[in-house]
Amino acid sequence: MRAAPTILHLDMDAFYASAEQAAKPSLRGKPVVVGGLGARGVVATASYEARRFGVHSAMPMSQARRLAPNAAYLVPRFPLYRAVSETVMELLGRLSPLVEPLSLDEAFVDLEAGGLADDSRSARAVGEQLRLVITAATGLSGSVGLAGSKMLAKIASEKAKPDGLLLIEPGTERELLAPMSVRTLPGVGPATGDHLRRAGMTVVHDLAEAGEAELVRLLGKAHGAALYRMALGHDDRPVVAERDAKSVSVEDTFDVDLHDRVRVRAEVERLADRCVRRLRDAGRSGRTVVLKVRRYDFSTLTRSETLRGPTDDPGVVREAAARLLEAVDTTGGVRLLGVGVTGLADFTQEDLFAQAAETRQGDAVPSAAEEAGSGAAGPGTDGRGTERPETERPETDGPKPEESGAAQAVLAAREDAGQPSARRWSAGQDVRHETLGHGWVQGSGVGRVTVRFEEPGSAPGRVRTFRTDDPELRPADPLPLVRDPVDYSSWPASLPKSRSGAVPSAGATSSP
């Protein structure tokens, strides 16, 4: 635990929905829901206006439509969200070499490692200016939490929402945590929370009063001891710049239950191919193939098979997933399928065989590549001479609630599917008309598509309806949310180094 609140947690406010409101002037201040729009779609993010009606992430889209029938329901646009995320993460990287991203819109920052803060005043100044710069660069708002530990910094940013800053002074942790629900603490989900409730523990103060021995008796040694420490406000986890992924997976939820065994197998093979594409894009391989099947009655079965060595061969993963499927009864119908790979590595079984062959050959004759002063498979290759693009690592485990569970499956399916075809229009999709310019799809059906023509920063635009096969209407790429973003290349040079005296005024208000 630190003596100064130099761990910062940033969480963008209702990220996907806020990005859609910024991109579509007619939706500002109105309820917006982003997620899968099918019969079994799930809410990914709801704007604060929609949350007033009870809509929240991971809720079935059908339920959200009943609660907020007049909200705008849009498909996610990942190219836009990634572009904004890259800008935000670049800004965070200017503050410290230790930045730990948790998702596209959430990250921890160690301000002490960046030399920008070593007390409450300097930490608050950094947090206030960060919020201003993020808004100027992206057009969106984010909430900041500052504390002496990761757990408390994350709790602080949640309490500061929306568009606020909360700093927790070291020494006040127990007083702050005491009245909070036990569900506030990391690792306390619905099942654990219900178990604690039955034992008479509903707030963090109850956990601290119960003592470590009682929590260990209720939850086991590891979980009980960790929960007791957190109830006292203790968390010594460091900010880690690189978090290694534990798995790569894809899922699909189907609008109608699948009963045809041949169709089920075909879907499993398709998911296996998608999973391997993600695996290869991340430059990884995996040893264990996992199949997930959710049946008609919502019962979920998981089966796994561990291979002799890591692989990124789509044929191997397909065959393993198909074998796992044979052991699952799907006669009643299947509503969700998923394929994943765990036990990740940076090499494949084939690489090991090649290394063994090279070892047997010894140092006999150098290869042409070695004569030229480089390896046969240099940077940017996959070890077999094939170029592999440098991409972001796969998603880390433990997604935030806003992007968890079934919502992840729906969004992953949309992401891998790419832009809808030119004649299949989805609500929220970017389009361009040869004469009227850029717009977005408000809705489509019975051979017609309705488009609102507006751009970020413009006034609310006019609405026009076209035939779905209108030759002048085409899908388009998202436009930047800020037309003329400020130049932040010199930031944070204006911030003083720690112990340097006066703290500049950021001009922003912050929560107490």
Sheet holding 72-74, edge to edge: 43-46, 32-35, 72-74
Say if residues 122 and 116 touch (Cβ distance below 8 Å): yes
Residue 464 host element (H or E): strand 462-467
Residue 265 and residue 291: Cα distance in Å, rounded?
A: 12
If you search the block for the tokens 């803060």, which residue do you land on?
117
DSSP 3-state percent helix, strand, coil across the chain (nearest 5): 35, 25, 40
Give the residue among 186, 143, 185, 149 at the shortest CA–CA distance from 166. Answer: 143
Residue 425 and residue 10: Cα distance in Å, rounded?
A: 35
Give the residue among 7, 155, 34 at the shortest CA–CA distance from 104. Answer: 34
CB atoms within 10 A of CB 57: 24
Please list the active-site residues: 106
Angle at 99 between CA 150 and CA 141, to 5 degrees: 80
Whether omega for the bond prior to residue 420 falls within 30 degrees of 0, making it cis, is no
Sign of CA dihedral 71, 72, 73, 77: negative
SS (H, E, C) 239-271: CCCCCCCCEEEEEEEEEEEECCHHHHHHHHHHH
Instruction: Go through the chain and tell me how many residues it has.
Output: 512
If you search the block for the tokens 């209702």, which residue do you land on?
14
Residue 504 and residue 482: Cα distance in Å, rounded?
A: 26
Residue 319 host element (H or E): helix 314-326
Whether omega for the bond prior to residue 366 falls within 30 degrees of 0, making it cis, is no
Say if residues 21 and 14 touch (Cβ distance below 8 Å): no
Beta-bridged to residue 475, according to DSSP, are 431
Buried b (16+ CB within 10 A) or exposed e, 284-308: bbbbbbbbbbbbeeeeeeebeeebe
Say if residues 127 and 503 touch (Cβ distance below 8 Å): no
